[in-house]
């Protein structure tokens, strides 16, 4: 008898050498046994939801609370997640673009486990593999309309001239040497601001992964333009730290989280 239309799965296969995997070994070397334990708990959470789990500050807080182990704080969990993403345990591309935790292996095991389901829901942008043809998969799309979202980095209030100079412009005219692309005018203004105020950060030799238009929108959903501008300039000026990073979006996001803990 076919199973009902549920999203998550009740159990999943776990290799006996899970804790011997180099990715887990590195996490445990950095965070101790709690690193491997949290990685396993994250897999359980993901599979209970489906083939991915949306990750944000609220999810991180709830996850840490539900673990209920002394010494496992929200900050520790977030650091471990960042470490797992960096080492490829979770896919970095979809994490950076959409803030979700998933991987090729997770999706392969999920679709194998759901082959008896009547049908399975999936999001096109989150898929890392092609679902098996033997499964009735209903693939939907996010369909984000960039033009419908205000990506301007506008000042909060009129303030001192010093602060206003740091603000990412929302009405500057574009220069001839600005980046020519199909991006929105607002995003090109952001790129112009980056070139003028953060030349080190805007150089792909220093940060191969820059802040995309979609990622700028995500930042603006939680933080003000002044906050984003301040953090970018902090990174630009911290010559002793900036060489550690290669992903500008994740670096800015992590610094914003630490700087504005209520964000």
The pLDDT of residue 146: 36
Mean pLDDT within 86-106: 91
pLDDT in tens, 194-247: 988 888 898 888 888 999 999 999 998 888 888 898 889 888 877 666 667 888
The pLDDT of residue 67: 87
Q: Is 147 helix (H, G, I), strand (E, B) or coil?
A: helix
- Considering only CA atoms, which of 96, 103, 111, 106 is closest in space to residue 209? 96
Q: How confident is the model at residue 181 (pLDDT cuts 50, 70, 90)?
A: low
Q: How confident is the model at residue 111 (pLDDT cuts 50, 70, 90)?
A: very high
Cα(246)–Cα(232) distance, integer angstroms: 14
pLDDT in tens, 31-74: 999 999 999 999 999 999 999 999 988 899 999 999 877 778 98
The pLDDT of residue 104: 95
Average pLDDT, the chain: 81
Q: Based on the number of CB atoms within 10 Å of its own CB, is 129 exposed (0-12), middle (13-18) or buried (19 or more)?
A: middle
Instruction: Answer yes or no: is pLDDT of 255 > 60.
Output: yes
The pLDDT of residue 57: 85
The pLDDT of residue 195: 87
The pLDDT of residue 144: 40
Q: Which of 81-90, 122-131, 241-250 has the lowest mean pLDDT?
A: 241-250
Q: What is the pTM of this model?
A: 0.54
> 81 CB contacts (<8 Å, ≥6 apart)?
42, 55, 60, 90, 101
Cα(207)–Cα(219) distance, integer angstroms: 18
């Amino acid at each position: 008898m076919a199973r009902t239309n549920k999203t998550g799965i009740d159990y999943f296969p776990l290799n006996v050498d899970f804790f011997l995997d180099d990715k887990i070994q590195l996490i445990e070397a950095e965070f101790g046994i709690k690193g491997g334990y949290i990685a396993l708990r994250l897999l359980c959470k993901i599979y209970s939801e489906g083939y991915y789990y949306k990750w944000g500050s609220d999810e991180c807080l709830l996850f840490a609370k539900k673990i209920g182990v002394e010494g496992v704080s929200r900050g520790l969990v977030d650091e471990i997640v960042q470490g797992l993403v960096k080492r490829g345990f979770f896919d970095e591309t979809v994490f950076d673009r959409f803030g979700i935790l998933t991987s090729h292996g997770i999706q392969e095991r999920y679709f194998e486990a759901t082959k008896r389901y009547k049908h399975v829901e999936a999001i096109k942008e989150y898929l890392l593999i092609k679902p098996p043809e033997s499964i009735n998969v209903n693939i939907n799309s996010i369909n984000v309309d960039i033009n419908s979202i205000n990506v301007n980095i506008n000042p909060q209030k009129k303030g001192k001239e010093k602060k206003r100079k740091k603000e990412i412009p929302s009405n500057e005219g574009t220069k001839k040497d600005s980046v020519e692309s199909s991006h929105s005018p607002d995003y090109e203004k952001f790129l112009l601001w980056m070139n003028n105020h953060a030349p080190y950060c805007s150089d792909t030799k220093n940060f191969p992964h820059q802040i995309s238009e979609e990622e700028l929108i995500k930042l603006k959903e939680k933080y003000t333009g002044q906050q984003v501008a301040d953090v970018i300039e902090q990174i630009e000026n911290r010559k002793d730290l900036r060489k550690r990073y290669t992903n500008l979006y994740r670096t800015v996001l992590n610094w914003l989280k630490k700087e504005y803990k209520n964000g």
